Amino acid sequence: MKLFLDTANVDDIKEIAAWGILSGVTTNPSLIAREGRDFREVIGEICDIVDGPISAEVISTEREGMLREAREKAEWHENVVIKIPMGKEGLAAVSILEKEGLRCNVTLVFSAAQGYTAALAGASFVSPFVGRLDDIGIPGMEVVADLAEIYDLHGFGTRIIAASIRHTQHVEQAALAGAHIATVPTAVVRKLVEHPLTDIGLEKFLSDWNK
């Protein structure tokens, strides 16, 4: 399972990319708005840091607007993946864009049924939102596991991005459930590498050494 960073913060992306564990980045309108910067400029900087799929989301809600925005964003950089919201208009746009050779990430997916239709439309990526399902008492990771099984059984090439990740267990569970990618907020990525016993162990090694 590859690791993507779920942020539009360029400093965070630089830091985590330097650890050598990052394969891509996902953004969304909320994350871009949080940075208070120009969308294109931010995506351009991210593309300069990470050589992998970089998701940039459209804000149009109807097909023509999505197509227009997608084609424009695809010009920004060859690694830009167009993030399109799940729905009838979104699927229609995805099926056209993928035929044009533009890679799409269908976002806001909350059921295996939705993820199945995204694969039928030819989406390169699908993003089931695990944490937001957990928030309403529905086990989000089951959608990831079901999609992994469906795609495998029926030979779909769509890559599953486990999204809306809230803690390190989500990352472990996503890997076990068969997600191809987990897109993870910076705070959770930091926690992936930490363990109190590592700190205690290192302190002991160094104090023994110094004795």
Residue 11, classed as helix, strand or coil, is helix
If binding is defined by CB under 6 A, does position 110 make contact with ligand E4P? no
Among 65, 131, 186, 192, binds ligand E4P (CB under 6 A): 131
Query: CA–CA separation, 147 vs 178, rounded Å?
Result: 9
Q: Convert 192-203 to b/e letters by CB count within 10 Å (16 or more is b).
A: beeeeeeeeeee
Least separation in angstroms between CB 131 and ligand E4P: 5
φ and ψ of 86, to 5 deg: -55, 145
Contact region with ligand E4P (CB under 6 A), list: 41-49, 88-96, 125-133, 152-160: 125-133
Q: At what angle do helices 63-74 and 88-99 cross, to 10 degrees?
A: 40
Longest CA span, the chain: 71
Out of 117, 127, 158, 173, point to the residue binding ligand E4P (CB under 6 A): 127
Q: What's the CA angle centered on 95, arms 93 and 96, to 5 degrees?
A: 65
The one among 110, 125, 129, 156 contacting ligand E4P by CB under 6 A? 129
Smaller CB separation from ligand E4P, 17 or 126 = 126
Q: Which is nearer to ligand E4P, 28 or 117 (CB)?
A: 28
Q: 3-state SS string over 147-183? A: HHHHHHHHCCCCEEEEECCCCHHHHHHHHHHCCCEEE
| Residues of this chain, 76-95, that bind ligand E4P according to CB under 6 A | none
Q: Smallest gap, in angstroms, from Cβ of residue 191 to ligand E4P?
A: 15
- Does 124 contact ligand E4P by CB under 6 A? no
- Per CB under 6 A, 28 contacts ligand E4P: yes
Q: Rounded distance, CA 206 to CA 139, Å?
A: 43
Binding mask 144-183 for ligand E4P (x = CB under 6 A): -------------------xx------------------x
- Catalytic residue annotation: 83
Which of 120, 89, 5, 122 has the alpha carbon at shortest distance from 108?
Answer: 89
Look at the block and give the residue holding tokens 């993870």.
184
User: Could you say which of 3, 5, 6, 160 contacts ligand E4P (CB under 6 A)?
Assistant: 6
Q: Which residues bind ligand E4P (CB under 6 A)?
A: 6, 26, 28, 107, 127, 129, 131-132, 163-164, 183
